[in-house]
Structure 1
Amino acid sequence: MQDSLQDYLNYLSVERGLAKNTLESYGRDLRQFLSYLKEKKNLDLQATTQATVIGYLLLLQARGKATATLSRNLAAIKSYYHFLAREGMIERDPTINLDAPKQEKRLPRVLSVQDVEHLLEQPDLKNPVGVRDRAMLEVLYATGLRVSELVSLKINDLNLEMSYIRCFGKGSKERIVPLGSVATKYVKIYLEHARKFLASSPYEDTLFLNHHGKGLTRQGFWKIIKKYAENLDIAIEITPHTLRHSFATHLLENGADLRSVQEMLGHADISTTQVYTHLTKDRIKEVYEKAHPRAK
């Protein structure tokens, strides 16, 4: 089973070009499923039935796993068995008629423009780390990048003359995103006055560096933004994704069209982007109810 799993992960990496994080997630979920088959059920891949898969999902549910986790596991298992059937490693696909559980759509939490400004002003620009942090926060809010995309940026991905960046999203898909004048300004300051104090090698091409002179990790950036968020009197929890949500919502509130926001966010399906239209509609209703004399 482990050999077939490695073949499958190689297929996802080479032929479908899935990102490293996605591969790790699929691998982790499928190893746990294969362990369940072998240790709990004493089954192999050929003997797995639809009931076996459902039983595994029910076990995850009983352990308190969220609906999103169940859906992710089922997606990984279905894709794996589809690959096995296509390659002739199994005679039938036991997941062929299984549908993912419906997920309740939760609206993302966003910051007001004023709260974003307060957050961006937190880093101390008197030291290189503070300059780096300000540049990172400005880039994140200016572009709506995912954190994994932010920490993966290379110096050559910047075009500061034209104020845009190139990034690689899910499935290693390339996209070009405008950077904006303010973010461009702080990135220039970081490159000219701060990055040299963090770099441990002149050959390191990652844009944003940690105190060891290497590229920051997602976890490292998460700690940075949490540190600054603690200084603010804001009711909602601020995570790196909060700035991505705020980026999209503020664009739509100010007249950007949905298709352009989809392109900038790197969403494959516009339905993923449409969640932000609910937020802007709620905002319009809130403004109306506060301002119109006959709203209530």
Structure 2
Amino acid sequence: MPQPFPQQRRLRLVALVLVLLGLGWAGSGAVVTWRLTRRARPVFPEPAPTLARGAIEAHRLVTADGLGVGAWLVRGEPGTPCVLMLHGNGGSRTSLRSLLELLAGQGHCVLALSLRTHGDSEGEVNDLGWSARQDVLAGIAFLEREVPDRPRIVFGTSLGAAAAIFASREVGSRVQGYVLESPYRDLRTAVSNRLESYLLPGLDRLAFHSMWLFGDALLPVPAEQLRPLDHVVGIPQEVPVLFLAGAKDRHARLFEVEDLAGRISSHARLEVFREGHHGTLRDSEPERYQRHLLEFVRSSVRR
């Protein structure tokens, strides 16, 4: 009959197990955080597609911090507004092609960017839109040089919307409007939302605290600074903002977008898509989505 472990040996074994579990918990958090803040896939080519209306020019912009950013430009008809298009996390300007075709088909000028760490653009650290504000500024400066004296609208979805918000104070009144689709309110809530969507109750909290430990070490700015809610007030009062949100969005929840719109309620409007999930607002109500977008862009000519 086997002899029981002496009490001291049993306590050492329990302590060893707890240490290993703690190291595994912390290590997994570090690995996941590192992975989520790095480029998701290698650089890949993004050749300019052929449009039914309007020619696409391929350009390479250089940001203030020295990164090369891929871009497509459709000059559109004289006098039409120019829309700077910014994609979501994990996308690129290629993923914006259908919207680009919609706007170009109406004769509008469009500049579509692949934000840093995405598509054929340079960069390795994805800090959820903070550094990509430099890409937004480069895009606006490019439009000012290439198509001056045209109204400029910034359209951003998810990550692109956050980058536009982070850039807004430096942009000032150089644009005549923003369309912001499903922006996250703050990084803490955004991470929590995603973990809650993918993990069982309880495990999401453990994973969150593990990842949050390493956020500041792996990001170029403190994680608590990544709060579009604090930066959206940088949009001047004379610049209108159209927020688009999905009632079923589990990544940028409706109350988050409502909070953002509420901070600038004097010049913001919120349109809610009742069946919209993250990244599917247009698919949920195509005609309504397109109507709001096109009407907002056209109205910039009259401002």
TM category (shorter chain) comes to under 0.3
Give the structure-2-normalised TM-score.
Answer: 0.21
Q: Which has the higher strand share?
A: 2
Q: Which has the higher helix share?
A: 1
Give the structure-1-normalised TM-score.
Answer: 0.21
